[in-house]
Amino acid sequence: MQTHDNPQSIHTPYQTSDYRELFENSPIALWEYDITAVYAHIQKLRERGVSDFAVYFHNHPEEIEFCVRSLHSFNVNPVAVELFEAANKEELLINPAYFLREAGFEFFMDALVAFAEGTTNFEVELFCYTLKDKKLRVILRSHLIPGLAGNFNKVIVSITDITPQYEASIELNRKNEQLKILHSISLAVLSAQSPSEIVRVALQDISKITDCDIATIVLYDFENNAGTLLNLEGAEPPQQNRFPLTQWALFDTLRTGKYHYIRDFKKLNPTPAIYQNLAAAGLRAMVNVPIFAQGELVGTLALLAYKPSSFSNENIQNAEQIAAALSVSFHNAKLLEVEQRAHHQAKTLREVALNMNSNLDLEALLEVILDQLARVVAYDAVYIVLKTSNTYEFASQRNLHPITAQMLTKEIHKFANIQEILRNQRPLLIQDVSVYPDWVKMDSYSQIHCWLGVPIRFKDKFIGFLALEKAEAGYYIETDKDIVQAFANQAAIAIENARLYQRIQQYSAKLETRVQERTRELQVLYNVTAVAGKPLGLKNILQNTLAELDSMLNIATSAIHIYDIENEQLYLACQHGLGKLLTQQIQIISLPDKLFGHVLIKDNAHVVEINAKQEPPLAEQTHFAGIPIHAKGKTIGVLTVFGSSVPALKTEDLALLGTVADHIGSSIENNNLSKKAQQLAVLQERKRLAQDLHDSITQSLYSMTLFAEAAHDLASVGDMVGVQKQIQEINLSAQQAFKEMRLMLHELRADSLSLIPNGLEHALRQHIETIEGRTGQQFSLSIDSPINLPQSVQETLFRIAQEALNNTWKHANAQTVTLSISFDNDELIMLINDDGDGFDPQKAQHQHGMGLTIMQERAAEIDATCTYTSYPLHGTSIQVNLPLHQSIFAEMIK
């Protein structure tokens, strides 16, 4: 290891006070290295043609040693001095290979390969040693000082001590491994099938979780005062495995559940005879852990060791857990024969259950149940009765006499044994029917001498019973009753699954039908709504609605009447599929009326079969269905269905017709509102034209009368020059009136924007071209992007712009006019500027003729604002701000 005598002189640019303070006070061990020589050597190797440094360094270990010697360590911080148990910093400024030892070669080779491949920052976890040979587990990191990329004379190496964490991890792994072994032993013990197998699996791995040299299990036979050595792990078994019980003090301790620990046989004085042979064999320590069965001491797990005090608390706890498993296993071993029989029965029942649950058809399942029952218990005849609602149904049978089957089907109440099952809902075994007092005696039943019945229950719910018959008296015993009951429990699950499957199938069919009906309803409503949304006119909308009812609901004959409340009459608005006679009969319905009037009075659907004696008969129609038509909470008409399609109408269809009737009411109401709106628009337009005529043409005509009177007066005095001047004024006024009249005619002829291909923009350009051609003004039109607004909004904006543009030549005498439409966030801005005469806004509030009020009223109709600014001789600016509400966005998206 090489060091610099004066590293400060070389590295002065980097030895700032902040850096020094961080380095010296860092909580982790830090070294400063100069690896310039290593970098230079690697560059030389690369110039010599070395490209695969991993292979090169592997084949040339001397190069690794050279590079390690070329490392220059010139500083280390106090934490490193303390961690590596050095007296001072100078002791640590040595070759780093000393600290790494056996891990050094591999580490330095990996680090050099990474460095040669361009990696200057790396991290590795490894072992290292202090100056006092203390082994540490550390994380070693190496990196250049930030900002000094490419400069290798200052590399920081940090070492973080993770020894406590590493040792804790090792201990945790050891504990986990012990737990796995203990768990494995416990499982093996609990799974063993015989006492010998229990002992074998308990002892074979016990040395892995305890410090025993020998392990054995001893069973106690207190009745015969003898102990049995079942097995010996770690030593040769003795010739005699039975011995007399003499250590009663030991047994008393073990019966309390506590273990007995002899730490050293040699310290026993005197040594009991039973332990003398153990001590003679060199054994020193022994621990006995009690084994219980049903609360009684039955044996001990004994651990022996050649070293005194070998067993820790952890060893003893592990032995106690194994002893607990042994207690359960020995108890189970005593019941092994019973368990094996039960296991066989359970296996059969599981297979039977699988076979039963594989079929979801109830009728087929009952046959499978009877087949599988024969695998569990024999029978001569068998039958199943199931509960349905509040009755019992004879569901299935095998080998039953036909007469008996018939009686069970029709007269089940006569069988006392069956009534006892139904009443008590518990198994009933009659080993000899001859001694059963109420046994039904009949020829078809005479061959039966043993009868067994068990309830079929599902989740504590009685769903039926299963009965078996046998010709031999006493054939069935109590054990058979339990087995058949277990079988019935399995059958109950399968039966309920099949019933549930049937219900699901029924529900699915109903749901599918309902979905189809609902889809049809939605389609009808969609079609009716689509028809109502088209600009077809009310009559066509109503006619198409009735056609949709015919198409979707097969309603071939229908009509719509509108209620005239003043005249107490219903007027036929339209009909579909009606003959000429019926159409004439229902053209006007005067109220009160038994059919149509009932719908209006009751205000709900009225479905009735038409009485042939009714006066007058409805053109041989047999059925009538009337549904009220509502609008704004009032009944405004009746939707009627006639003829053979009425009886086929279901409740859902009538509800659907009610919804359709509401849509019809909305269409009628919308039509009425549209008419009112059109009438109002006409009145407003008339008002505006009257105002325009008064403000422009009327004034011009009045001026011409004044000029004419003045000319007449001048002519009477012979002032022809004055007459000529008045005639010129008359001519100018006439031309002005002519221009205004032509512009008004143009406005009156203007089409709706809905008929103009490009809407507002195209309409504005047409209007500007008209004004330019007639006034000589210069116009400039600027629109940011295509305008996709609702039709009514575009028309209102056009009327405002039209009024403002007309004012520029009628009142302002403007030469240049600019009109722009732009979008700013969620707002449309329309701006009209002119260079005309301007006006005083204060005076304009008390004057008429410039249409300012009209423009503001129009703007308010679409939730917009209209403002203006003007100065005399400095022109006028009119601005409209339109917030783009959610409804307008929706129209734009469409």
Burial of 142 (0-12, 13-18, 19+ CB in 10 A): buried
Tokens describing residue 516: 């189809």
Q: What's the confidence (pLDDT) of residue 260? A: 92
* Beta strand extents in 234-305 (DSSP E only): 242-244, 260-262, 285-293, 296-305
Contact 412, 423 (CB under 8 A): no
- Dihedral-angle region of residue 326 (phi above 0 means left; psi in -120 to 50 means alpha; beta otherwise): alpha
CA distance 172 to 166: 10
Q: Is the pLDDT of residue 311 over 80?
A: yes
Q: Could you tell me which residue, 380 or 269, shows the higher pLDDT?
A: 380
Among all chains, which residue has been given the structure tokens 């053979």?
644
* Strand, helix or coil for residue 272: coil
Q: What's the confidence (pLDDT) of residue 589? A: 83
Q: Is the pLDDT of residue 393 over 60?
A: yes
Contact 205, 184 (CB under 8 A): yes
Q: Could you tell me which residue, 475 or 678, shows the higher pLDDT?
A: 475
Sign, Cα dihedral of 479, 483, 484, 485: positive
A 10 A CB-CB count for 353 gives 18
Mean pLDDT in residue range 91-99: 80
The H or E element spanning position 144 is: strand 135-144
Q: Is the pLDDT of residue 233 over 80?
A: no
Q: What's the confidence (pLDDT) of residue 9? A: 39
Q: What's the confidence (pLDDT) of residue 430? A: 92
Backbone angles phi, psi at 606, to 5 degrees: -130, 115
Q: What's the confidence (pLDDT) of residue 454? A: 94
Q: What's the confidence (pLDDT) of residue 149? A: 61
Q: What domains does the chain contain, in order, with CATH numbers?
A: 7-161 (3.30.450.20), 181-334 (3.30.450.40), 340-502 (3.30.450.40), 533-676 (3.30.450.40), 750-894 (3.30.565.10)
Tokens describing residue 844: 């304009």
* Beta strand extents in 643-710 (DSSP E only): none
Q: What is the 3-state secondary structure (H, E, C) of 193-231?
A: CCHHHHHHHHHCCHHHCCCCCEEEEEEEECCCCEEEEEE
Q: Could you tell me which residue, 837 or 643, shows the higher pLDDT?
A: 837
Band (pLDDT 50/70/90 cuts) for residue 322 is: confident
pLDDT digits (tens, 9 = 90+) for 731-747: 877 777 776 776 666 66
Band (pLDDT 50/70/90 cuts) for residue 893 is: very low
Band (pLDDT 50/70/90 cuts) for residue 314 is: confident
In sequence order, what DSSP letters do the residues of 757-798 get, joined into one string?
Answer: TTHHHHHHHHHHHHHHHHH--EEEEEESS-----HHHHHHHH
Verify cis geometry, omega within 30 degrees of 0, for the bond prior to 616.
Answer: yes
- Window from 25-39, 442-456, 578-592, 641-655 with minimum mean pLDDT: 641-655
pLDDT digits (tens, 9 = 90+) for 537-574: 777 888 888 887 777 777 888 888 888 887 888 888 88
Contact 18, 77 (CB under 8 A): no
A 10 A CB-CB count for 198 gives 25
Residues 6+ apart with CB under 8 A from 457: 425, 463, 488, 489, 492
Q: What is the 3-state secondary structure (H, E, C) of 340-376?
A: HHHHHHHHHHHHHHHHHHCCCCHHHHHHHHHHHHHHH
Q: What's the confidence (pLDDT) of residue 769? A: 85
Tokens describing residue 262: 């002899």
Among all chains, which residue has been given the structure tokens 């590493």?
166
Amino acid at 13: P
A 10 A CB-CB count for 45 gives 19
CA distance 63 to 42: 10
In sequence order, what DSSP letters do the residues of 723-752 get, joined into one string?
Answer: HHHHHHHHHHHHHHHHHHHHHHHHHHHPPP
Rg of the chain over Cα atoms, rounded to whole angstroms, equals: 55
CA–CA–CA angle 16, 17, 19 (5° rounding): 65
Mean pLDDT in residue range 441-468: 88
* Strand, helix or coil for residue 34: strand
Q: What's the confidence (pLDDT) of residue 308? A: 92
Q: What's the confidence (pLDDT) of residue 857? A: 86
- Window from 251-255, 322-326, 378-382, 780-784 with minimum mean pLDDT: 322-326
pTM of the model: 0.36
A 10 A CB-CB count for 576 gives 20
Q: What's the confidence (pLDDT) of residue 620? A: 67
Percent residues over pLDDT 70 in the chain? 87
Average pLDDT over the chain, rounded to whole?
A: 81
Q: Could you tell me which residue, 321 or 758, shows the higher pLDDT?
A: 321
Q: Number of C-alpha atoms within 13 angstroms, CB side, residue 669?
A: 15
For residue 184, give the nearest of 169, 166, 204 by alpha carbon: 204
pLDDT digits (tens, 9 = 90+) for 581-639: 888 878 888 887 777 878 888 888 888 877 655 555 666 677 888 889 888 888 888 88
CA distance 244 to 225: 6
CA distance 29 to 62: 29
pLDDT digits (tens, 9 = 90+) for 566-576: 788 888 888 88
Amino acid at 289: V
Q: Is the pLDDT of residue 14 over 60?
A: no
Sign, Cα dihedral of 171, 172, 174, 179: positive
pLDDT digits (tens, 9 = 90+) for 761-819: 888 888 888 888 777 788 999 988 777 788 778 888 988 998 888 888 777 788 899 99
Band (pLDDT 50/70/90 cuts) for residue 7 is: very low
